[in-house]
Amino acid sequence: MPTRRAASICADMRVFWVVVRCQNIKLPSADTHLAMAAPLAPSCTFSLSDGLQFDLCPLLNKRGTEINVTVEEETPPTLTTYRYTIGLNAPLKVDGTLPRELQCPVGTWICLVVLNTRPNHPSEPPRHVQVVQVAAEADLNPRAKLVEKLNSEDVHEILQITLHGGTYNGRSQTAAFWFHCDHEIEEPSFPNHLWRFNGTHAFAWSTPHACPLNLPPGAPTEDLPDDDPPAMPPPDPDTGKVPKAIPLSLTLTAVLIAACAIALTLRYLSRWGWRLFWLAVCPKRRQRRDGFRALVSNWEDERDLDASTPLTPTFKSSFGTYGSAVSA
């Protein structure tokens, strides 16, 4: 991962594997080195050369001295377990119940033990396949630097801490911790193993304590909204006068008048308005309706009753030529 920003830090190697308070000594390297210094009070706070300040004390001092990170891999017919033991503020303790060859040497800060078991034989003890010293006190040489963001939505860059000093089968080992600033993570948090390749063991650690305590000098600050809105509107830029606010009583009066006008209008429309609207919009329909009424009226005028048979209707216009109907 490319370096974005470099810094310099001094630290006491025996106090804490990441950072301790020390004098401001800048090293020429592009990375942030934690160099040897006179014994000082233990501290987990440090500042990078660009002015960013970090405080990892709540993350690493308020828990036990060691944590375990375990990764399991199915390797049929067996199960392989990779168990990392990490010393937070001191080298790992020696386990007196295990043989020396089944644990890392004295002075180890990070130890990897690879175990192999057969799930179908639970009574068998696990077999130690590898015991890898990842980081050791003799040449810990901690380094810190800022690297590019992992995600585009991240606000802060990643704080990378690398530890050295371990060897396995003649190959140097390195541990890289990527501290990701995340304010939504609840503590206590723990690192997650990412990968291991060619002697490098990578871990990701999301925690709010990885966020810098301050902004670097010269960084732009965003305009935050005021907690309380202003009591009066801002002045007019042309006249410099502050516009007068409308009295609340006048506003309420205008609202009541408008509500009454709307109510009266709706009441009028509910009684007569829709009828007038219908006749105005549909004149042809009105003409057809008037013609139909006239036709019915004419038809009723021409209808008459025969004198001999009062219940038999006779239509003069239709039967005038043939005479009137008579009963048998």
Q: State what percent of residues in the chain have pLDDT above 90.
A: 20
Whether 219 maps to a domain, the answer reads: no
Average pLDDT of span 106-116: 93
pLDDT score, position 241: 58
Whether 53 maps to a domain, the answer reads: yes
- The answer on pLDDT for 283 being more than 70 is no
Whether 145 maps to a domain, the answer reads: yes
DSSP string, 140-188: ---EEEEE--SSTT-SSPEEEEEEEEEEETTEEEEEEEEEEE-TTPPSS
Average pLDDT of span 306-324: 48
- Minimum mean pLDDT among 46-60, 191-205, 236-250: which range? 236-250
pLDDT score, position 89: 79
Say if residue 202 is in the same domain as residue 152. Answer: yes
Whether 149 maps to a domain, the answer reads: yes
pLDDT score, position 315: 45
Q: Which residue is listed with tokens 């007019």? A: 236
- The answer on pLDDT for 226 being more than 70 is no
Say if residue 114 is in the same domain as residue 70. Answer: yes
Say if residue 148 is in the same domain as residue 197. Answer: yes
Name the 3-class secondary structure at 234.
coil
- 112, 135, 158 — which closes off a domain? 135
- 210, 237, 259 — which closes off a domain? 210
Say if residue 130 is in the same domain as residue 70. Answer: yes
Whether 97 maps to a domain, the answer reads: yes
Say if residue 59 is in the same domain as residue 79. Answer: no
Distances (CA, A) of 33 to 3, 56, 312, 320: 14, 17, 124, 128
Average pLDDT of span 155-184: 88
Whether pTM exceeds 0.85? no
Q: CB of 130 within 8 A of CB of 102? A: no
pLDDT score, position 200: 92
**Which regions of 182-280 does DSSP assign to beta strands (E)?**
192-197, 200-207
Say if residue 155 is in the same domain as residue 272. Answer: no
Average pLDDT of span 180-201: 88
Say if residue 262 is in the same domain as residue 277. Answer: yes
What pLDDT, in 10s, does the model give residues 125-144? 999 999 999 999 888 888 88
Alpha carbon distance 186, 188 (integer Å):
6
- The answer on pLDDT for 155 being more than 70 is yes
Distances (CA, A) of 125 to 119, 122, 128, 129: 11, 8, 10, 12
pLDDT score, position 218: 56
Range of the domain at 70: 66-135
- 210, 234, 255 — which closes off a domain? 210
Which residues partner with 50 through β-bridges? none
Say if residue 151 is in the same domain as residue 54. Answer: yes
Say if residue 20 is in the same domain as residue 154. Answer: yes
Whether 309 maps to a domain, the answer reads: no
Alpha carbon distance 226, 257 (integer Å):
36
Alpha carbon distance 207, 328 (integer Å):
115
Total domains present in the chain: 3
Average pLDDT of span 30-59: 57
Angular region, 25: left φ>0, alpha ψ -120 to 50, beta rest? beta
Q: Where does the pLDDT of residue 19 fall: very low under 50, low under 70, confident under 90, or very high at 90 and above?
A: very low
- Minimum mean pLDDT among 5-9, 21-25, 191-195: which range? 21-25
Alpha carbon distance 182, 48 (integer Å):
20
Say if residue 74 is in the same domain as residue 60. Answer: no
Say if residue 177 is in the same domain as residue 275. Answer: no
Whether 317 maps to a domain, the answer reads: no
Say if residue 165 is in the same domain as residue 273. Answer: no
Q: What are phi and psi of 199, to 5 degrees?
A: 90, 0
Alpha carbon distance 281, 261 (integer Å):
25
Whether 50 maps to a domain, the answer reads: yes
